[in-house]
Amino acid sequence: MALLTGKTIVVMGVANKRSIGWGVAASAAKQGANLVLTHRSERAGEQIRKLLAELPDVSASIVRCDVTDDASIEEAFAQIGEATGRIDGIVHSIAHANVEDLQGEFVGTSREGFLLAHNISAYSLVAVARAARPLMTSGGGIVTMSYLGGERAVENYNVMGVAKAALESAVRYLAKDLGKDNIRVNAISAGPIRTLAAKGVRGFNDVLHTMQEKAPLGRNVDAEEVGDVTAFFLSDLSRGITGEVIHVDGGYHIVG
């Protein structure tokens, strides 16, 4: 039997076919999950509709959710609850920072830019976990996406690195709280992947190149590989793991 048969998985943050969230949705669907995909922009909603149209056998619905707005989160999860009755997993694949805060010196980060990055990229996991908890009546898994820049000072990653450090810490505190409800909370630290978010950010191509050169596996990773590890975290195979950050980066973090 597939790993996620009979489970409802909510994937937040698919912008287009290159999104890590879409790699996750595809892996989860392959493992038999019933999907709910959330988006903020109309444009992302359209992209998701198009992508799902190519997978007619997959059971999926689309819900709008703006994670900067508590009322929107509440409404989205009320809608999901009505439609599905229960949630077994949440995948948080959402981050944002001002493009001017993703280059040059971190010391120049404005208060506003710092708060924006932390609001969307880290606090949103806490708000979503709280909203989803009452619907996760059989327990389940929450998975979020991080990057090595949350552990090390990586050129240009700047305010996002600080937000990812907060996100990874939030994973541990949420895991501590939600363990009593048999809800596990874990993160994946993914290698660089050419997504819409990565487009136009300074130095991205250099990072891809270095990764290929130095990673033990000698190549970059893709969204499907991240998706498969996410499916593992959402499945009962990982039932003994919570509060963990696992690297899906071809081993780069052990050498780079």
User: Given the rule CB under 6 A, which residues bind ligand N5H?
Assistant: 15, 95-99, 102, 147, 149, 154, 156-157, 160, 192, 196-198, 201, 203-204, 207
Place of tokens 């990565």: 198
**Residue with Cβ nearer ligand N5H (213 or 236):** 213
**Residue with Cβ nearer ligand N5H (112 or 236):** 112
- Number of Cβ atoms within 10 Å of the Cβ of 219: 11
Q: Does the annotation mark 147 as catalytic?
A: yes
**Residue with Cβ nearer ligand N5H (10 or 120):** 120
Task: Tell me the residue length of the chain.
Answer: 256
Catalytically annotated residue among 123, 147, 173, 252: 147
Q: Would you state the torsion angle of the CA atoms of residues 37, 39, 43, 49, taken in this order, to the nearest 10 degrees?
A: 10
Query: Closest separation between CB of residue 147 and ligand N5H, Å?
Result: 4
Sign of the C-alpha dihedral, residues 243, 122, 22, 222?
A: negative
Query: Closest separation between CB of residue 243 and ligand N5H, Å?
Result: 21
In Å, how far are 183, 192, 238, 240 from 135, measured between CA atoms?
11, 33, 20, 21
Query: Closest separation between CB of residue 166 and ligand N5H, Å?
Result: 13
**Residue with Cβ nearer ligand N5H (162 or 175):** 162
Q: Does the annotation mark 157 as catalytic?
A: yes
Classify residue 192 by its DSSP letter: P
Active site residues: 147, 157
